[in-house]
Amino acid sequence: MNRSFVILLCASWMLFFSACSNDNPPADNQDSLPTDSTATVEVPERNTTLPSPLHVAAMFKSSGMKFIPGLINPTAKAASYSTSIQRAQNMGVYSADMAYCVLNKQSNDAQQDMKTIRELANQINLGKIFDNTALYDRFNNNLGSEDSLRRIIADIQFETDQQLEANQQNHLYGVIFSGAWIESMYIGAQVYKKEGNQNIVPTLLEQMNVLKSIVTELEAQQAADPAIPALITDLKALQAHFDQMPFKKQLNDKPDLEFSEIKVTKEEMDALVLKIEELRNKIVNG
């Protein structure tokens, strides 16, 4: 019995030291397994980053997009979103609306949007974006300063990305942004339609290049929620419409052509605007 006890004790301590030792060798150490550094394996998964809703809104703002009352999604609609995908996507919609309002000094609307974003974030387990930080109070205390609000919105984006990573909810990253992107496109399209602002056309066309990245991101996460494949189908339909627009031939012939140099007919733009409206309305109407 004593001998067994000693053996067992030794084995236990070996287990202890084995578990506690640091297995990470320094960079210059030899590998413990035979390795083959001559052949490179390309990891098939596609990874993409997506721009922040604030940055997209700022791009439209710099093309002369003015504030038109009544364009943004009413905050009262938030209560009707019942699934996590609807809530996440419309959290993105309200993020785009909030950025549009902040960049156009519409502080009352921006404040309402912020409140709604926080409510939706709570409903999809992202409440810590605001719970562990003073971001909500900072936002409300700086309504008069656009520069401060821009910094705070960028911090909210950073915290959102942190929480998605921490909660292993990475599948919502593309979903949230898809809502923000289509809302910004919708607002841009409406300003073009109502005011005839031609300067917005190159921005709308440039933004269409982001769509492929959104689809790439969503495709990588489509197994995480049964609602994501349907969303991909809708976005791909918009992409297919864009790819078949006659002006694309100009880009194919001269890839270095600036968007401001591209000639797009009113009929082409009207058809694109219609597609954007249809998809946006589908998202905000749940």
Where along the sequence are the contacts to another protein (CB under 8 A)?
1, 4-5, 8-9, 11-13, 15-16, 18-20, 22-27, 31-43, 45-52, 54-55, 59, 150-151, 154-155, 157-158, 161-162, 165-166, 206, 209-210, 213, 216, 258-259
Q: Which amino acid is at 88?
A: A
Q: Which is nearer to another protein, 219 or 277 (CB)?
A: 219
Q: Which is nearer to another protein, 52 or 86 (CB)?
A: 52
CB of 76 to another protein, least distance (A): 31
**Rounded to a whole number, what is the largest CA-CA distance in the chain?**
93
Q: Which is nearer to another protein, 12 or 82 (CB)?
A: 12
CB of 154 to another protein, least distance (A): 5
Are 228 and 221 in contact, with CB atoms under 8 Å apart? yes
CA distance 55 to 150: 10
Chain centroid to CA 19: how far? 40
Residue with token string 């940055």: 55
CB of 8 to another protein, least distance (A): 5
Q: Which is nearer to another protein, 19 or 76 (CB)?
A: 19
DSSP symbols for 201-256? HHHHHHHHHHHHHHHHHHHHTGGG-TTHHHHHHHHHHHHHHHHTSTTHHHHHH-TT
Residue 27, SS3?
A: coil
Eight-state DSSP code of residue 91 = H
Residue with token string 């969303």: 231
CB of 143 to another protein, least distance (A): 19
CB of 137 to another protein, least distance (A): 20
CB of 25 to another protein, least distance (A): 7
Q: Which is nearer to another protein, 107 or 162 (CB)?
A: 162
Are 228 and 175 in contact, with CB atoms under 8 Å apart? yes
Q: Which is nearer to another protein, 23 or 253 (CB)?
A: 23
Q: Which is nearer to another protein, 26 or 196 (CB)?
A: 26
CB of 79 to another protein, least distance (A): 30
69: exposed, middle or buried (C-beta count within 10 Å: 0-12, 13-18, 19+)? exposed
